[in-house]
Each structure stands twice: as C-alpha cells, then as structure tokens.
Amino acid sequence: MTTDGFAGPVSVAQLWQSGWETVPNRPGVYLVKRLSSEAPEFLEVGSGGHFKGQHPDVPVVALLDKWVVGSDIVYIGKASRSLKRRVGDYVRFGQGKPVGNWGGRYIWQLADAADLVIAWYETPDTETVENCLLQAFMGEHGGRLPFANIQRPGPCIGLG
C-alpha cells in the first residue's frame, strides 16, 4: 500500500514535546506507522488514558493475535472535521489523558509507541478515503486490518 501524497511524518515523541501545531486544521485521514522492523514488545499496561472509567488495555495475547507481520502501518484513522484536533486527541490519549479517542488504542501498549510516526492526507471525503485505504491494506494482508484498527471498513466507492 503506497502512502504517496501523505504529509508529515511526525513522531509521537515530537508531538508530545512540541504539540501538534504542524498538523493542519482541516479534514483528512492519518496513518500511524512503526518504523522498526524488529518484533514488537507489548506492555501489560500501556500509556493510554482511561475514559469514562474504561480501561483501554487488552491482554498481550490479544495484541499478539492482532499484530500484522510485515506491515509498518499500525493504524489508519480519519478526522472528519480537523486533523489537528483528532491527532491531538489521539496523542493526548497516549499520554494517559482521559480523552474520548478509543479507536486505535492498542498502539499505546507498544513499548516503542513514542517512536511511531503519524502522517496525514488532507481530504474532505474522509469516509471514502479511509475505507479505500483500509480495503487496500486488507487486500495486501490477507483480509487483516491494521494492528490497531478494530472496525471493518465500509466499501471503497468513488475513488479510482
């Protein structure tokens, strides 16, 4: 799956340190990528925030089952209103803040989560582009979703 046309990437550590001011305040989709080719190390207790009393962590065995060997993309998400806000919420959740950003929470149980990078693509058609990216990923990985994606996508309609 190609990521041509995506801006960034910016590491999670950079976003934690300097904020997400470089991320545009426009709709779009974003990818979270793991640059290391080493096998991942999973934490029993990750850095994700607790929201409305819910604990975000899952058993390590579930994470091992979800891991997609050979893929550097670990999550594909959309920001229907603002990439800056959505990515900001995402990384704040990873800092343990009680933010309502439950999707993609598995990445915060990766020992090297701070080294992950986020890239984005501005588009007003976030639903279609996200669905098409997920469908393309699944086509390349035997029907599997990216590691931290949980919900199956809708159809890829309208993009060539």
Q: pLDDT band for position 159 (50/70/90)? A: low
Name the residue ranges covered by the structural domains of the chain.
7-140
pLDDT on residue 2: 67
- Cα–Cα distance, 105 to 81 (Å, whole number): 20
So what's the pLDDT on residue 160?
55
Q: Strand pairing partners for 93?
A: none
Under DSSP, is residue 157 helix (H, G, I), strand (E, B) or coil? coil
33-86: pLDDT as tens digits = 999 999 999 999 988 887 777 888 899 999 999 999 999 999 999 999 999 999
What's the pLDDT score for residue 124?
96
| Confidence tier at 93 by pLDDT (50, 70, 90) | confident
pLDDT at 40: 97
Pair 75, 122: CB distance under 8 Å: no
Three-state secondary-structure class, residue 38: coil
The amino acid that residue 115 corresponds to is: D
Note the pLDDT tens digit of each residue in 95-121.
888 877 667 789 999 999 999 999 999
pLDDT, residue 51, reads: 76
Backbone phi, psi, residue 74, to 5°:
-110, -15
Per-residue pLDDT, 76: 97
- Ramachandran quadrant class, 9 (left: phi over 0; alpha: psi -120 to 50; beta: rest): beta
Structure tokens at 23: 């991320």
